[in-house]
Amino acid sequence: MTTPFPAPFLTPFLAPFLVLPVDADEGFPQAFRLSLGARVYTFAFRVTVTDESLLGSPEPLDLPLPGAFLVLTVARDTVLLRRKLVRDHVYGAAELALVFRRMLVSPANLNAAGSHGSRITGGVALRWGS
């Protein structure tokens, strides 16, 4: 179940964002289905690291970084959005609005589960009825 963001997490359309149920301890890539309004969406996350020197530290990567980023794909019947994510930017995906406040990913959570300090904080809202 999703929970609402506090008041500062409002879209320009005044619809509150709901917290996306990303379980960073499950590792990346990861995907889940979420029902919003009358539709079901698939959210898929993957991390790309092009600078291998970033993988040497046990500390979580505060994404995006030069050489590392988080990609989100949102789909229903077709792909609605596929983007590299940046913090605090509101993305539109058809009738959805998405925002991400924190993207910490431990190198130990790439292709592996475990509690290594990874945390993704993001929200979704309906921009109009679906």
Q: H or E stretch including 40? A: strand 39-49
Give the confidence band of 6 by pLDDT, cuts at 50, 70, 90.
very low
Q: What is the pLDDT of residues 53-107, one digit of tens each?
A: 999 988 999 999 999 999 999 999 999 999 999 999 999 999 999 999 999 999 9
Q: What would the DSSP string read from start to end of 42-69?
A: EEEEEEEE--GGGGG-SSPEESSBTTEE
The whole-number pLDDT of residue 128 equals 78
Give me 40's structure tokens.
Answer: 């079901």
Query: Cis peptide before 64, with omega less than 30 degrees from 0?
Result: yes
The CB-side HSE value for 51 (13 A sphere, CA atoms) comes to 11
Q: What does pLDDT average to over the chain?
A: 89
Question: What is the value of pTM for the model shown?
Answer: 0.86
Spatial strand order of the sheet with 39-49 comes to 30-36, 39-49, 68-75, 79-84
Tell me the pLDDT tens digit for each residue of 106-116. 999 999 999 99
Question: How does residue 129 score in pLDDT terms, banded at 50, 70 and 90?
Answer: low
The domains of the chain are located at: 18-126
